[in-house]
Chains A and B, each alone.
Chain A
């Protein structure tokens, strides 16, 4: 069965530092991949998605993610963290031919001043 693994339930960075949130998926066929952000007491907001058009995907708020088939990874990055980036981040996949969104366990990002 398709699964998503997010390495690190908590990540802490200093303001202005690089943000790297890791996501690996398990599938022999590249699925559709998404990153969502959830701020406290709010719903999920789509950051970006990969649908095979380009391996480097740019999203909102300065985030981007690179699809690497050889590593079955879709890590999320941002060059310079801002305090407002502190939130929960979910990597998610929809298997090819499927419809159900499968979420990773989530990574809580802390940004230190």
Chain B
């Protein structure tokens, strides 16, 4: 099983809403990632969790708050977002946070902020 699942598939929210994106994998991977992808652009790394601890935060605004409740789950809490935050949010996982490890991506959550 090389599957990373993400829910919801689509999300529309207002700028005052609070919502969460969820990501799950059961491959035993110990590194999990959040990426943001704008239309016609490559993904941009946001956060990296390694062994359930946040190891990388790529200067992401505080209105995005990641959480890793256990080794299989990764959440992204959203609050007071801006319209420019509308994008495809991709979760990925890999066995370890090592250079040669392949990252497996989920299908993404398409977010629209009104």
Residues of A within 8 A of B (CB): 31-32, 34, 36, 41-46, 49, 51, 90, 94-101, 103-106
- The reply to whether A95 and B99 contact each other, CB–CB distance below 8 Å, is yes
> Which residues of B from 55 to 114 have beta carbons under 8 Å from A?
56, 90, 92, 97-108, 110
- The reply to whether B100 and A100 contact each other, CB–CB distance below 8 Å, is no
With A90-B42, A103-B42, A106-B40 in contact, is A98–B99 under 8 Å at CB?
A: yes
Residues of A close to B105: CB separation below 8 A? 36, 43-46
Instruction: Select the residue from B97, B100, B101 with max chain A CB neighbours within 10 A.
Output: B100
- The reply to whether B102 and A34 contact each other, CB–CB distance below 8 Å, is yes
Q: Which 10 A-B pairs have the closest CB atoms?
A: A103-B42, A44-B105, A43-B107, A43-B105, A94-B99, A43-B108, A99-B97, A51-B100, A32-B100, A43-B106
> Which residues of B from 25 to 55 have beta carbons under 8 Å from A?
31, 40-43, 45, 48
- The reply to whether B99 and A41 contact each other, CB–CB distance below 8 Å, is no
Query: What's the minimum C-beta distance from B30 to chain A, rounded to whole angstroms?
Result: 12
With A90-B42, A103-B42, A106-B40 in contact, is A46–B104 under 8 Å at CB?
A: yes
Residues of A close to B103: CB separation below 8 A? 46, 101
A interface secondary structure, majority: loop
Residues of A close to B110: CB separation below 8 A? 41
Instruction: Select the residue from A49, A90, A101 with max chain B CB neighbours within 10 A.
Output: A101
- Please, how many residues of chain B have a CB less than 8 angstroms from a CB on the other chain? 25
B interface secondary structure, majority: loop
Residues of B within 8 A of A (CB): 4, 6, 31, 40-43, 45, 48, 56, 90, 92, 97-108, 110
Q: Which residue on chain B has the smallest CB distance to residue A48?
A: B102
8 Å CB contact of B48 from A43, A51, A99: A99
Q: Which residue on chain A has the smallest CB distance to residue B6?
A: A43
Instruction: Select the residue from A31, A34, A99 with max chain B CB neighbours within 10 A.
Output: A99
8 Å CB contact of A103 from B43, B100, B107: B43
With A43-B106, A43-B108 in contact, is A100–B42 under 8 Å at CB?
A: no
Residues of B close to A101: CB separation below 8 A? 45, 103
